[in-house]
């Protein structure tokens, strides 16, 4: 009984599958944060460019 418990604990300690999942989750959250920052920074500039284009073709900017 004790041998099976020790064996199970050692296997749990060697298993790195959970660590990989956490690393991928952190990487995905970092990528999402960068995308959100870029969209936030460029959003106003895109709107200005869009309004300039719409005005140039003779419409009103929303």
Domain ranges for the chain: 2-56
Interval 15-44 mean pLDDT:
86
Give pLDDT, residue 34: 96
The residue among 61, 59, 58 whose CA lies nearest residue 50 is 61
Of all residues in the chain, what percent carry a pLDDT higher than 90?
37
The mean pLDDT value of the chain amounts to 83
The whole-model pTM stands at 0.51
pLDDT band, residue 35 (cuts 50/70/90) = very high
């Amino acid at each position: 009984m004790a041998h099976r418990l020790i064996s199970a604990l050692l296997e749990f300690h060697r298993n790195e599958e959970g660590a990989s999942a956490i690393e991928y989750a952190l990487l995905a959250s970092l990528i999402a944060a960068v995308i959100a920052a870029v969209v936030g920074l460029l959003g106003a500039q895109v709107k200005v460019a869009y309004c300039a284009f719409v005005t140039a073709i003779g419409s009103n900017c929303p």
